[in-house]
Amino acid sequence: MLLAWLSLALAGPSLADVFKYRDRQGNIYLTDKPMKGGYRLLKRYRFKTTRPRAGGASLAAMRKRKARYAPLIEAAAQEAGLQPALVHAVVRVESAYRPDAISRKGARGLMQLMPATAKRFGVTDLHDPRQNLKGGTRYLSRLLALFDRDLNLALAAYNAGENAVISYGNRIPPYRETQQYVKKVLRFYRQAQAGDQLAQR
């Protein structure tokens, strides 16, 4: 069981914790997101992230993709009650505006939705830009409501999962990837608000 779990973990993010729990019957449970007491940290793993990045593409190409999907982004943002600048920032960090983006962990599309999250918000085609944006913005809006409009926590939850944020006492988890993710999205968000969405890094 442990070997099977670890084989799945190798496809995960750059930092992952493995927690162990033994019940009264002697059964052992392993998880990366403990939801109750009694679990203890078994091991911490570090992996190289494969999240799609914009670094390999030119700003000109990114501008073309941004222009192509801007109307859909603005419509999805408005429907979810979000600022388009925020959604643009998330899309840029998540996929660099690539609807065909796929991470090693299995996240797909413009907003890098996991299949379970997509199903939760009624997305049937993860690579359809309209559906992906609708599901992603609804999820982000739900996270903002869950964490009392705290954008830092909502973004951390979008990256690491809401259970991770909750398990660390409603704080940004001590995962380097997640902490960098929040900072990067906020930086691009400020740039977008200032009208310089695709400025140099």
Active site residues: 94
User: Which are the contacts of 32, defined by CB distance < 8 A and separation ≥ 6?
Assistant: 9, 12, 16, 17, 18, 19
